[in-house]
Structures are given as C-alpha cells and as structure tokens.
Structure 1
Amino acid sequence: MKFKELYCVAALASFLALTACSGEEESGENLMAEKSSNAMPEKAPQPASKELPTTLTAKPTPEPIAKDVSVEDEVTLTGSIIFKELEGGFYAFIAESGDRYTLHNLEEQFQQNGLIAKVTGVPKPKMMTFTQFGTVLQVTSVEIIDSSKVTNKIAIE
C-alpha cells in the first residue's frame, strides 16, 4: 500500500512541476514580445532609391598564372642560421623580418648554429620537405656578418 501512495505523490509532483514550468515559458515569451514591441516602433518601408542596385551579379575572377622561379628571382636576406633537430636535423634561416626558410645547398663551413649572415638564394615555395619550416631557400652564396653567437651543433645520436 505504501508503494502506491509514494508512486501517486511522485506522479502528482512531476505533473505540478511540468505545469509550473510551462506557465513560466508562456509568460516569459509574452513578456519578450511586449518588450520588443514597446522598445522598437516599426518603421515604414523606405522607397527604393534609383542609385542602389536591385540585383546582385557575380563576375568570375581569373586564376593567377603560375610563374617559374628562375635565377633572376634571387633574394638576399639578413638573419640567423640555426640548427633544428627534426628528422635527423637541418639548418634553417630566420630573416630579420621574421620570415622562416629551410636552407638547401648550404656549404659545410656555414653550417653553424647561431651564425648571423647575409644569405642569397632562390626561394622554392612549391618544394615540400619534412621540415615544414617556412619556404625552401636554395642557397647560392653566404656572407658572414657575426660569428660571435655561434654555438656548437648538438650531437644527434
């Protein structure tokens, strides 16, 4: 007998809670509707101006033409040569502007971590590497500016 009484009380409480909640939602929606109607009076539609377009049209844009990089596109950058320990290690270059490059064809005498130099080379933006460190720069010449900050390359075993 106690189980039936407890079940009836729980069912009655649930029913009252649901009806109370639904009443609040309706009154809340009515209040929001009243506030929005009082706050913003409706404006009469403005007649269309002759200067404004009445239709939208899209014009196709031509794709850029790919340009082959040649020796004429050499760049000279000043910055730091650094050694990165990724995929067996590689030498990277961070220019003064903050641009990052992966150096290819860097002579062994310039493979010094921390070397500040002026590097001339041809950027290869379409070349992909495992390093994922900026644009590949095919080095043609290097001029040392400051070697006082050079640290030894960390041995990779």
Structure 2
Amino acid sequence: MNRLLCLFSIVFFAGCSGTDTTDANSPAEREAQSNIELKKTNTSKTSQEEPEMLTITGTIVYKGMEGGFFGLDANDGKKYMPRGMNKEMLKNGMIVQVKGYILTDVLTFQQYGQVLKVVEATEIGRSEIGQEDFK
C-alpha cells in the first residue's frame, strides 16, 4: 500500500509540474518578440539623441540688469545666453561666430534668450555699439 501511495504521489506531482506544450520558437512568437525588442530600441534612441549643432553669427552685448550678464544677439534677431564661452571673448560689442547647441534643461534668472552651450567661438570684429569691457 505504501508503494502504491508513493507511486501515485510521484505521478501526481510530475503531472502538476508540467511544461508548456506550445512551440516557443514558432514564427509568430519570434516576430512578436522582435517587435517588442525593436520598440524598446526605438524609444531608447529618441531619449539619447545628440543635440543639433548650430553656427550663429552675432554680437556680444552686456546687459546691466539682474546683476549684469553677457548675451549674444544673433544676426537673425534671436537672443542667446552663451555658456562655456571663453571670457576673453565676452566683450561688449564683439562680433563673433559661435558653434554650439541649445541647452533645453537649464533655467536662468536673466531669461534673455535660449541658453547656448558654446563649443567653439571665433572673433570676427567689433561693432559700433560700444568698446568698453565689462568683466
């Protein structure tokens, strides 16, 4: 009787542990899995896109409000707050060509324009608006 009970228990537990009988490698399942992986890849790329590099020509201007700051008035009429620019280039009236990208996650007290992370700056000349240096 004990052997019969033991045999019944083994068969019962083996039957309960069962495995999935569907083919895990069926073409439909493989396609569904690849679509899920593709969606994951596409969403991760959009969050890590490189910022657009801009080339801007304009004039450095000193503004005495909010404690004083330097801005960049672009030739197309837009205004920028240059960040990371060489201090030697920050002179009121200096005409520059700047390469950089917009920082979208930075706020400033001045709110003069978009914050521009300067990668490279070249002096082009001086304008007539003022030659004084405000450091």
TM-score tier by shorter-chain length is 0.5 to 0.7
- TM-score after normalising by structure 1: 0.50
Q: CA deviation at 1:108?
A: 1.3
CA RMSD between the two structures: 2.2
**Aligned residues of 1:69 and 1:124 also touching (Cα < 8 A):** no
Aligned to 2:72: 93
Q: Residue 73 in 1 paired to residue 52 in 2? A: yes
Aligned to 1:105: 84
Question: Structure 2: which 5+ residue stretches go unaligned?
Answer: 1-45
In structure 2, the CA distance between the partners of 1:67 and 1:81, relative to structure 1 (3 Å rule), is farther
- TM-score after normalising by structure 2: 0.58
Find the aligned partners of 1:140 and 1:79 in 2 and give their Cα distance.
Answer: 15
The structure in which a higher percent of residues are strand is 2
Deviates more, 1:119-128 or 1:135-144: 119-128
Q: CA deviation at 1:110?
A: 0.1
Larger RCO, structures 1/2 (Cα 8 Å, 6+ apart) = 2
Q: 1:107-146 alignment to 2 at 5 Å?
A: 107-146=86-125
Find the aligned partners of 1:67 and 1:109 in 2 and give their Cα distance.
Answer: 35
Find the aligned partners of 2:117 and 2:111 in 1 and give their Cα distance.
Answer: 15
**Equivalent position SS for 1:87:** helix
User: Number of residues paired by the alignment?
Assistant: 89
Find the aligned partners of 2:102 and 2:73 in 1 and give their Cα distance.
Answer: 14
**Aligned residues of 1:123 and 1:135 also touching (Cα < 8 A):** yes
Find the aligned partners of 1:67 and 1:104 in 2 and give their Cα distance.
Answer: 23
Find the aligned partners of 1:103 and 1:145 in 2 and give their Cα distance.
Answer: 16
Offset from partner CA, 1:52-80 (integer Å, 9 cap, x none)? xxxxxxxxxxxxxx75563x521110111
Aligned to 1:23: none
Find the aligned partners of 2:134 and 2:52 in 1 and give their Cα distance.
Answer: 34
Shift >2 Å, 4+ stretches:
66-70, 147-150
Q: Residue 84 in 1 paired to residue 66 in 2? A: no
Matched-pair identity in %? 29
In structure 2, the CA distance between the partners of 1:69 and 1:131, relative to structure 1 (3 Å rule), is farther
Find the aligned partners of 1:69 and 1:112 in 2 and give their Cα distance.
Answer: 33
Question: Structure 1: which 5+ residue stretches go unaligned?
Answer: 1-65
**Equivalent position SS for 2:88:** helix
